[in-house]
Amino acid sequence: MKSISGIPASYGIAIGSAFVFDRAEIVFEPHTIEDPAAEWLRFEKAREDTRSQLDEAYQVTIEDLGEEEAEIFNAQKLMLNDPELINTVKSRVENELINIEFALYETAESFARQLDAIEDEYLSARALDIRDVSSRCLRNLLGINESPAASLTTPSIIVAQDLTPSDTVLLDKDFVLGFCTAEGGSTSHTAILARGLGIPAVVGIGEGLEEIKPGDNLVIDGDGGEVIINPDKKTIKEFTARQSRLKELQAEAEAVSHQPAITTDGHQVEVVANIGNVDGIQSALDAGAEGVGLLRSEFLYLERQNLPSEEEQYQCYKTIADAFGELPVILRSLDVGGDKEIPYIDMPPETNPFLGVRAIRLCLTRPDLFKPQLRAALRAGYGNNLKLMFPMVATVGDVESILEVLEECKEELRAEGQTVAEKMDIGIMIEIPSAAVLADQLADVVDFFSIGTNDLSQYTMAADRTNAHVATLASGFQPAVFRLIKIVIDAAHAKGKWVGLCGEMAGELLAIPILLGLGLDEFSMNPPAIPYAKRLISSISYEHAKQVAENAIQLRSDQEIREYIKKEVPEVNPG
């Protein structure tokens, strides 16, 4: 028996045999060709086959996870048609008379290496996508079976160096008990897929992967980040008991999911949903959401070649707001740049997109993007409980500029005879450390804050969350991050404003007691996490949570904080 530590990526326990996901190597030799035109026809056929496969992958992912997760395959189709890539490949075939496999591989790898060298989260993800789509095209050229997934015929734990979007979508989810990868972090594609499907996962185990052989019996602890190879009978018995307790927990959570989140001593908070499109309405309501704490608007800009009209946006926002009735719906303005790119929106390349012109910075320079969205929201908010929230705010000046444009939109709509929401609540996301430090000033000019811990953690700790070597450093459980959260909540409450949190931490059971004790008013999370969060909140006292939070933020590491919570609040670890 051997234990390996990694990064907890998706909650739960998995016990089963290892299925080592190992692709057949793509092998070819460079050689001289005599007919470039014929070689190019081969490439066009392979590209067409690849497009069809990406379309199929998109549809499968839509059914399994939803539109937002499926969008990666549309992005890959755009890469497949990228003029710079295609023209470079064609030039090498025609001018150097080399075979298409070598020309494609060399060109794609050159592009990917350039992105890797910059060491940026967004660009690293794009490098993986370039390699993924070029490998798919190469397999079509060479007639190689696309994936070893076809040989997965029994329930197993998937073990891999890493998994691309193409890899994961081809797996029969009925046979996937858990995921274990050497690479990746809490926001890797594997982690996102696992959480969406409710499958336990541990990522970033590094060289520990080499210890696992096909057919080895494994235990995956998605909460503790532990992988146990060939456990003894006592260990299997222990984890089997935890699995059973988790099933009981699920039943308990579902029983309270449609009740208010009230602590044992009467303190109530809101538990709301993060959704990314109209399709998310029903899953949020079914899970017991008390509204929407984060409505991502990017879905309206994807899968198309031009900007959505004001009317299209209005109809969509109104449909969602109407569905929730009197419950609040918080619409986040367009958040692109960084790790989100829209092909038809001209965004010049930047050395570090995460520190560049993204989100509200982009919108304030592009009225053609910003004003139609604001106008649509103001119209949709009439008669509904729709609120507006703006991402990546760094200064009070940012808010003043936003409010100026918003007032212009109101005046335009009134002049046109349109009905508008005159008193719509306006909030900002706290994602940048400067905004946390300036929370007392920002609270004077907005109605609420929503803390985005994914970016706040990364910017505070100067660490890439997807890099396994520093993923722990980028954890939201770092004392520095919790202290910033406390600064924000205290500053807002002093001005009579409320604070929500819409990052991954809002749904993490270990984080909830601390956030509750710090005074967080609203927890916004993916719908599957809502029942568990409500159950936990209703099982602990607010006074105890306040003491726990006070003690936790005095600790010196994220691991100390996690261990302390497990000890002081046993309800977070019912298994």
Of 189, 316, 363, 409, the active-site residue reads 189
pLDDT band at 174 (very low <50, low <70, confident <90, very high): confident
With respect to residue 55, please indicate whether it lies within any of the assigned structural domains: yes
Mean pLDDT of 314-326: 96
d(CA 564, CA 575): 17
104/185 same-domain check: no
180/311 same-domain check: no
- Whether 123 shows a pLDDT value over 70: the answer reads no
Find the CATH number of the domain harbouring 365. 3.20.20.60
Enclosing domain of residue 543? 257-572
pLDDT band at 413 (very low <50, low <70, confident <90, very high): very high
Other Cβ atoms within 10 Å of 335 Cβ, number: 24
With respect to residue 234, please indicate whether it lies within any of the assigned structural domains: yes
14/48 same-domain check: no
| Residue positions counted in the chain | 575
Show which of 220, 243, 266 is a domain's final residue. 243
d(CA 539, CA 486): 23
Average pLDDT in the chain: 88
- Whether 340 shows a pLDDT value over 90: the answer reads no
Report which residue type is found at 210: E
* pLDDT given for residue 81 in this prediction: 82
374/272 same-domain check: yes
With respect to residue 552, please indicate whether it lies within any of the assigned structural domains: yes
With respect to residue 484, please indicate whether it lies within any of the assigned structural domains: yes
202/334 same-domain check: no
- Whether 63 shows a pLDDT value over 80: the answer reads no
* pLDDT given for residue 73 in this prediction: 80
Q: What is the pLDDT of residues 224-256, one digit of tens each?
A: 899 999 999 999 999 999 888 888 888 888 899
399/280 same-domain check: yes
Whether 189 is catalytic is yes
Residue found under tokens 């409980």:
385
Other Cβ atoms within 10 Å of 71 Cβ, number: 19
301/387 same-domain check: yes
Of 137, 180, 363, 502, the active-site residue reads 502
Q: What is the pLDDT of residues 139-171, one digit of tens each?
A: 899 888 656 776 788 999 999 988 876 677 777
Mean pLDDT of 430-436: 97
* pLDDT given for residue 377 in this prediction: 98
- Whether 78 shows a pLDDT value over 90: the answer reads no
Question: Which DSSP state fits 23?
Answer: P
Higher-pLDDT residue of 466 and 298 is 298
pLDDT band at 468 (very low <50, low <70, confident <90, very high): low
**On the CB side of 150, how many CA atoms lie within 13 Å of its CA?**
6
- Whether 343 shows a pLDDT value over 60: the answer reads yes
14/88 same-domain check: no
Whether 469 is catalytic is no
pLDDT band at 407 (very low <50, low <70, confident <90, very high): very high
Q: Are 538 and 259 in contact (CB under 8 A)?
A: yes
Q: What is the pLDDT of residues 520-560, one digit of tens each?
A: 999 999 888 899 999 999 999 999 999 999 999 999 999 89
* pLDDT given for residue 146 in this prediction: 59
Distances (CA, A) of 485 to 83, 85, 399, 503, 504: 45, 44, 20, 12, 14
161/138 same-domain check: no
Higher-pLDDT residue of 346 and 486 is 486
Mean pLDDT of 342-364: 79
d(CA 154, CA 242): 23
Higher-pLDDT residue of 211 and 246 is 211
pLDDT band at 500 (very low <50, low <70, confident <90, very high): very high
With respect to residue 29, please indicate whether it lies within any of the assigned structural domains: no
* pLDDT given for residue 116 in this prediction: 67
Report which residue type is found at 116: D
With respect to residue 249, please indicate whether it lies within any of the assigned structural domains: no
Domain count along the chain: 3
Show which of 214, 243, 272 is a domain's final residue. 243
263/233 same-domain check: no
With respect to residue 447, please indicate whether it lies within any of the assigned structural domains: yes
With respect to residue 26, please indicate whether it lies within any of the assigned structural domains: no
Structure tokens at 553: 């933020």
d(CA 89, CA 108): 9
Higher-pLDDT residue of 187 and 140 is 140
Mean pLDDT of 4-16: 90
Find the CATH number of the domain harbouring 7. 3.50.30.10
pLDDT band at 345 (very low <50, low <70, confident <90, very high): confident
- Whether 194 shows a pLDDT value over 90: the answer reads no
pLDDT above 70 covers what percent of the chain? 91
Find the CATH number of the domain harbouring 99. 1.10.274.10
Q: Where are the beta strands (DSSP E) in 140-249?
A: 156-160, 176-181, 201-203, 217-221, 226-229
* Closest to 100 in 3D by CA, of 47, 52, 57, 163: 47
- Whether 71 shows a pLDDT value over 80: the answer reads no
218/352 same-domain check: no
Q: What is the pLDDT of residues 565-574, one digit of tens each?
A: 999 999 887 5
